[in-house]
Amino acid sequence: MINVKPADMILRDLAPRQGYQRLVEAKDHATGLHALVSIHSLHRGPAAGGCRMFDYATFDDAVQDVQRLSLGMTYKNAAADLPLGGGKSVIIGDPKRHKTPELMRAFGRLIDHLGGSYYTAEDVGISPQDMAYVAQTTPYVAGLEGGEFASGDPSPVTARGVFLCLKQTLLHALGSDDLNNKTVAIQGLGHVGMHLATLLHGAGADLIVSDINSEATQHAAQKLGALVVLPQEIFHQDADVFAPCAMGGILSTDVIAGLKARFVVGAANNQLAHETCGQGLHDAGVLYAPDYIVNGGGIINVAMEILKISDPAYRENRVNGLAKTLDQVFTAATKAGEPPHIVADRLIKQRLA
């Protein structure tokens, strides 16, 4: 282990997985910071991806998670046609107990040390206020609430991207994207799910919703006429579309077996519980819109802050582009008789070549 700038912080380069650019570990004894930054790809530009704070059971869990997430960001950024590579960072610790302004400033010094090869933003366990502390020690940060190019909450933009992709899915499969007489089952009415529900309701769709937070479901029932079901029942509803907007890994073999919807289009990251579940959806006759294309609206919003772009046309063009990319994937998948997630991965690899 070597002592390098920033002073007092111990930094070391670890051996990343094959094909990854860099993996850095940082320890700062004064603040208790223990963090990892994984840069998967710099091919399209500086790496961008959020910072997650989580109390990992083992150091290796954190190493695996940060690398997996950084790969996902390369794909998501390329799918959104952004001039950004893929990266991610994790802070090891319980955000409720271990997070302090000093710790976040120390994290900012780590990011600054990487000299702009990686831009950070919020992820699970990290708030805009935390990023404001990070911004006191580095300019390589986005997701801020104040400042000339501050992008604020990305959720409405993510929801709009999901909405457009959902319509594109119907158009591809049914020849019409009319949402009247269509039912969408939404799992999770958080930042993205509630915006999505509002857009769908406005376009004439019927809604079935579930959330573990009854305030959110009550709101959807009262304001949007949504039918509320128990969380474990959302998969089995007679809906045209299932929109996962809660957590990842929910498309398991069991869930697919009970799914009545013919289309899956939602915001959640890493929806497939296993690689084989994409094939499982395909075999079950369900058209799956790959998550990292559908939910790219958030990173488009963040990218504008990183790239210092204020023209709303940039956002609109890129978000519309998500639906175009999805259509490209569906068209190629239908032609080849392959599952869309396989075709999407191939398309992104071509964009990265």
Report, as residue numbers or ranges, the catalytic residues. Answer: 88
Nearer to ligand NAD, 31 or 120 (CB): 120
Is 218 exposed, middle or buried, given 0-12, 13-18 or 19+ CB atoms closer than 10 A?
middle
Residue nearest to ligand NAD (CB): 190
Q: Please, what is the minimum distance in Å from the beta carbon of residue 158 to ligand NAD? A: 3
45 is in an annotated binding site: no
Nearer to ligand NAD, 31 or 271 (CB): 271
Round to whole Å and give the CA distance between 339 and 268. Answer: 19
Q: Please, what is the minimum distance in Å from the beta carbon of residue 154 to ligand NAD? A: 4
126-150 burial, b if ≥16 CB within 10 A, otherwise e? Answer: beeebbbbbbebbebbbbbeeeeeb
Q: Please, what is the minimum distance in Å from the beta carbon of residue 344 to ligand NAD? A: 16
Nearer to ligand NAD, 170 or 189 (CB): 189
> Residue 130 region, left (φ>0) first, then alpha (ψ -120 to 50), else beta?
alpha
Strand positions, DSSP E, the chain: 2-3, 9-14, 22-28, 33-41, 47-48, 51-54, 85-92, 118-119, 183-187, 206-210, 227-228, 241-244, 263-264, 287-288
193 is in an annotated binding site: yes
Nearer to ligand NAD, 127 or 334 (CB): 127
Residues that bind ligand NAD (CB under 6 A): 154-155, 158, 187-193, 210-213, 216, 231, 245-248, 267-269, 295, 298
Q: Please, what is the minimum distance in Å from the beta carbon of residue 212 to ligand NAD? A: 5
Q: Which residues are annotated as a binding site for NAD(+)?
A: 188-193
Q: Which residues are annotated as a binding site?
A: 188-193
